[in-house]
Every structure is written in structure tokens, then in C-alpha cells.
Amino acid sequence: MRGISGRPATPETSVLRGVLVAVAVLQAVGLGLLARRGSWLTDDLEFLVQGDRGFAPKELLTPLNDHIAPGLRLVYAAFAAIAPLNHDVTIGWRMAMQAIATVLMGMLLLRILGLTWWVAIGTAIYALVPVSMPSFLSLSSGVNNLSAHVFGLLLLHATIDWYGGHRRRAVAYGPLSLLISLACWEKSGLILCTAVALALYLRDEPFRNWLRRTLPYAAALGLAVLGFGVLYLTSGNPSAGRVPSPADLGRLVAQSFEVPLTAVVGGPWRWADTGQVFSLADPPIAAVVLGGLVTAVLLAVAWRRDRRALLLWGAVLGYVLATVALLSYGRFGVFGSVFTVHYHYWSDLSIPLTLAVVLTAQNLRIVVPAVVLTGALAGVVVSDAGFADEWGKNPAKAYFATVDAELDRTGPNVNLWDTTLPPPMGSALMSDRRLSPVLRMAGRRFQLQEPGSEPLLVDDSGHIRPAQFVVWSRDKPTAQPNKFCSLLLHGNGPLVIPLVPTRDEVATAEWFVRAAYFSNRENQVSVELVDDAGRVAALPAKNWPGGVGTMYFGPSERIRATQLRLRSTDPATNLCVANLEIGLPR
């Protein structure tokens, strides 16, 4: 009919770029809304406390567990300085980084494919694939992975610049992008697999000439890897690790390939019921089989119509195998096969997977990919909704809101026991599980186990209430009691006090100490708990005010305490302990 035209086969540049920006904004907003349903995790709180130490090079180069990640430390230091314990600020940062990554992917596809609607489709695939969604919601993984996405995609843009004749520009930001990415997460170096595959895909000259042109760029990237390698060897703290058995390794490889296979159909569809806010994938066999069929069709299309696209599928293969090799060595001994279903380790797989799928599917009539994408979109909705349901169960948001309100109610002079964060916010994986460093990082004022009053307790719901001190052991009565003082610390010699359990047996715990005393002067005295093997759990020295009072210490390291030692370096120390109790505030 005259005056009515169909949709143009080739979109205008401005229209296509507008679509890319719209996809990026919608994705970032959607993921941000999902992230707001949850809150802080264990690593987040510990990294914030560490970040509060500042931006000094010594702090930035201090390893995290067995990682050397100055980029991650820098970001957390910024969060601690700008808006400590403000989860919404971190979500805003994640949304900005995610939007940048999505636009970079869209622009990369535009440079590879030119003006075609496949650019918009590919950008949507990258934005929706669930493999990167969990690591956005978790802040600690988001800092690692979003940086890997942004700077990894910049490296791919630099690669195109190099072969497009913009060599100075490519060398200016390509190696730097790789170095920054490595500084945020060592595993992000696997983007080099995709960079090599993309360079070979775009090759338009004899291989020998291409290789000669590639060597200077490869050398520049090698210098970035070498620079980070020196940093890792001099400042890192690598775990010993172990190589799994051949049977275990084969099983790990098979399980790991479930990630890209289910991702092409919007998987994993289902998450393991762990009872935690940290979901692990549990894809049904239908998702694996259907994903395998779709992948087989795509590989067949690539073989028949554009074999160069197989290079990007090779990048996916290399990424999976390298991830299995790295993580099975460093993590299998502690976590077993969990890493194969733990999507925080697989986030940046979405980069080579998106390129492989799009560069292959563009050879098909649009109706076939449209049907597959519609089905995959349903899988994405199911996957995201399932993860969001688990993610929303995080109690940290309500807990810290209650703690804030309680501290406002009680005022800055409230005296608190130095207790630990409740699970799942505090876990055995944390080096310091106490609540007090988190509150200090957030700028909250309070007293901590001061001798002026009996400390109160922050319970697992965040409310401040009186505590019951459950006594597990106390000082053993002396054979010949002294009428004046049976437990007298005089001078700088240690006073060793045997402990007698009040229960059936001596237990192992992170103990607190309550000591009633009197003295005619102020004394600085430290407390040590000792077990039968002579192992010592030292508690920080404190000033014991003159007069009659009660001192509070703890928590200690985990120990099966059978003795307590009091120490002072002052020869004028004169302190009488009237009642000594070891226990736990409840």
C-alpha cells in the first residue's frame, strides 16, 4: 500500500545506538531492583572494614584470602569513605558499571557486524543471560566481575583498533585495561582467550602477515601480564591447592559445561535449596539437554556457513577448561565441586558466549533465532525470579536497620558486649566476625565492654537488651585462701589461675572473661587463656581503673581454656581479683 513502508533491513546508526543505550539502562535498572531485595553478605562486611583502613599502597596490596586484588580493595575503600554501610550506593555503582559493560558489548557488536538488527539482539542476549546476574547482586563478586566485564570489553575494543590501524590508541588503553582487570580479579585474564579468537575471526590477510602484525600488540599485553605477575609473586598469598584425581577432574569438566549449555536457553532455570541467601545452580536435566541441542544446531550452522565463528566457540571451550583447571586446583580441596555450580566464578563467560551465539545465529533466517530467543527469555525469567526469591531472604537489611534504630535510642554511651554477627552475616570464613568493627566503620558511637557498667547485648535480631552471662568455668579455689586476697597480681610477674568448669566438661569456644577486682591504683593488665597443650589465646591489655570494679574481655580465639594468666609489665602493679568467670553472654 503506498505511503506505508516495512521495517528497514538496515537500521540507522542513531536508532541502533539508542536501542543499545535503552537495553543497557533497562538491564541495569532491573538488576538494581533485584539487588535491593537483598543486602550485605559476609565478604562485603569484612571488605568494608578492611577498606576503612584507607587507600595506602600497603593496604591496597594486602591479599584478600589467597587473592591479590588491589582494585577490589580500592573500590571498597571508596565505599567505606563515601557512604559506609549504605547498600544503595553500592547498587548505584553496580548499575553504572553494568550499563557501561552492556553499551561496550553493543558497540563491539556494531564494530564487528555493522548496521544490523543483530547488534541489538546480541546486546539483549548479553544483558539477559543469567550467568552474570548472580555476581551483580553480590557486591563482592560484582566488584570482581563487573570490572572484568568492563575492562575485558575495552581490551576487545583495543584489539579491533589494533587491526584497524589505530595502533597507538590500542596500545594506550588495551594493556592498561588488562592490567586493571587483573588487579580486580586474577581470573579475568581469561579474556585473552576471547581476544585471540576475535583477532583470528577478523583476520583478512595471510596468517604469516597477520602474525607479524600481531606480535607488537601481543608483547604489550604480555608486559601487562608480566607486571601483574610480579605484583602477585611479591605481594600475593596463593593457597597451596591440590590437583583432583583424574576421575574427579573428568566429573568437574562435565559439570562445568552445564553452565554454557543451560545459558543458551536462559538457564539454569533452578537453584539449589541450600537454606542460604547464596544460591547455587541446580539445572534440571531438561535444561541441559535442550541447551545441548541448541548448541549442537549452532555449531552445525557455524560449520556449514561461517567456520570462523567456531573460533569464538573455541574461546568458550578454552574459558571453561581454564576455569576448571584454575578453580579445581585452588578450591576443590576446600569446597569440592561447588564451584561448577557457583555462578560467581562464571560471570564473564557471557562475553565469549554472546559473541559465539550472535556470530553464528546471524547466518540464520531471523524467524528461527526469534523462536529460540523467545523460549530462552522464558528461561531467563524463571532463572532470575528463582534467584531473586533466595536473594530476598537475606536478613542483613532488617538487622542493620534495627541496630541503627537501637543505637539512636540508647545513645553513644551504651556499653556493649563485643559479640559476633549472627549467621549468615557472620561465618567461619570471616577472619573477624565481630559486629563492633562494622559499626565503627559506619561511624556509629558506642562503648565496648567498658568497666563502668554491665555490657548490653546486640541479639540476632539487632535489638539491644540486657545479657545473661552464662558461666562455663571460674577460678579454682586456692588450697589456703588468703583473707585479704587469694588472687593477687603484684609486680610484673604473671599470675596463673587454674580454671574449674561449671559444666560436665571443659568446652572449646571464643570465650569472654568477667573479672571482679579491687585495687588502690590504676593498672594495665592483659589476660591470656591457656589450654592443656600450652596454646595461648591472648586478649588485648586494658587499663583497670583504681577502686572496686568489674572488667570485661573477649572474644578470644577458639580455645579449650583450662588456665588464665594475668600479665603486667609495671613493677608497681597491685591488683586483687575477687571473682573470675569465663563464659558467653546470651
SS3 labels along 498-535 = EEEECCCCCCCEECEEEEEEEECCCEEEEEEEECCCCC
* Per-residue CA distances from 370 to 109, 364, 366, 367, 376 (Å): 18, 10, 6, 5, 10
Q: Are residues 480 and 434 in the same domain?
A: no
Asked if pLDDT for residue 274 goes beyond 80, the answer is no
The SS3 call for residue 291 is helix
Per-residue b or e along 111-142, where b marks 16 or more CB atoms closer than 10 Å to that residue's CB: ebeeebbbbbbbbbbbbbbbbbbbbbbbbbbb
Asked if pLDDT for residue 6 goes beyond 50, the answer is no
Q: How confident is the model at residue 335 (pLDDT cuts 50, 70, 90)?
A: low
pLDDT of residue 504: 77
Residue 6 within any structural domain of the chain:
no
Q: Are residues 445 and 325 in the same domain?
A: no
Q: Are residues 456 and 483 in the same domain?
A: no
Least confident segment among 50-59, 270-279, 484-493: 270-279
Q: 284-321 pLDDT, tens per residue? A: 999 999 999 999 999 999 999 999 999 999 999 999 99
Number of domains in the chain: 3
Q: Are residues 182 and 257 in the same domain?
A: yes
Asked if pLDDT for residue 127 goes beyond 50, the answer is yes
Q: Are residues 462 and 493 in the same domain?
A: no
Which of 466, 485, 500 represents a domain boundary (last residue)? 466
Asked if pLDDT for residue 520 goes beyond 80, the answer is yes
Question: Which of the two residues, 439 and 277, has the higher pLDDT score?
Answer: 439
pLDDT of residue 369: 72
Mean pLDDT score of the chain:
91
Q: Are residues 411 and 512 in the same domain?
A: no
Q: Are residues 339 and 485 in the same domain?
A: no
Asked if residue 277 lies in contact with residue 393, where contact means CB atoms within 8 angstroms, the answer is yes
Per-residue b or e along 528-556, where b marks 16 or more CB atoms closer than 10 Å to that residue's CB: bbbeeeeeebebeebebbeeeebbbbbbb
pLDDT of residue 2: 32
Enter the DSSP assignment of 471: E
Q: 150-187 pLDDT, tens per residue? A: 999 999 999 999 999 999 999 999 999 999 999 999 99
Give the domain CATH number at 551: 2.60.120.260
Domain encompassing residue 506:
469-585
Q: Is the pTM here over 0.85, yes or no?
A: yes
Residue 473 within any structural domain of the chain:
yes
Asked if pLDDT for residue 63 goes beyond 90, the answer is no
Q: 227-239 pLDDT, tens per residue? A: 999 988 888 776 6
pLDDT of residue 332: 66
Residue 265 within any structural domain of the chain:
yes
Sign of CA dihedral 458, 460, 461, 465: negative
Which of 466, 488, 508 represents a domain boundary (last residue)? 466
What cell was used for 475? Answer: 577460678
Least confident segment among 61-65, 163-167, 345-349, 542-546: 61-65
What pairs with residue 434 in β-bridges?
420
Residue 8 within any structural domain of the chain:
no
Asked if residue 280 lies in contact with residue 274, where contact means CB atoms within 8 angstroms, the answer is yes
pLDDT of residue 8: 45
547 — phi, psi (to 5°)? 105, -155
Residue 5 within any structural domain of the chain:
no
Q: How confident is the model at residue 328 (pLDDT cuts 50, 70, 90)?
A: confident
pLDDT of residue 3: 33
pLDDT of residue 333: 62
Residue 1 within any structural domain of the chain:
no
What pairs with residue 539 in β-bridges?
527
Across 128-133, average pLDDT? 93
Q: Are residues 495 and 512 in the same domain?
A: yes
Asked if pLDDT for residue 485 goes beyond 90, the answer is no
Task: Name, in order, each residue with C-beta under 8 angstroms of 143's C-beta and a sequence gap of 6 or more.
Answer: 71, 72, 75, 76, 184
% of the chain surpassing 70 pLDDT: 95
Q: Are residues 46 and 190 in the same domain?
A: yes
Enter the DSSP assignment of 386: H
Residue 564 within any structural domain of the chain:
yes
pLDDT of residue 425: 85
Q: Are residues 406 and 461 in the same domain?
A: yes
Asked if residue 306 lies in contact with residue 356, where contact means CB atoms within 8 angstroms, the answer is no
Which of 446, 466, 486 represents a domain boundary (last residue)? 466
Q: Are residues 366 and 460 in the same domain?
A: no
Q: Are residues 80 and 214 in the same domain?
A: yes
Q: How confident is the model at residue 334 (pLDDT cuts 50, 70, 90)?
A: low
Q: Which of 35-39, 217-221, 360-364, 368-372 has the highest mean pLDDT?
A: 217-221
What cell was used for 573? Answer: 602493679
- Between helices 70-82 and 87-113, what is the axis angle to 10°? 130
Residue 4 within any structural domain of the chain:
no
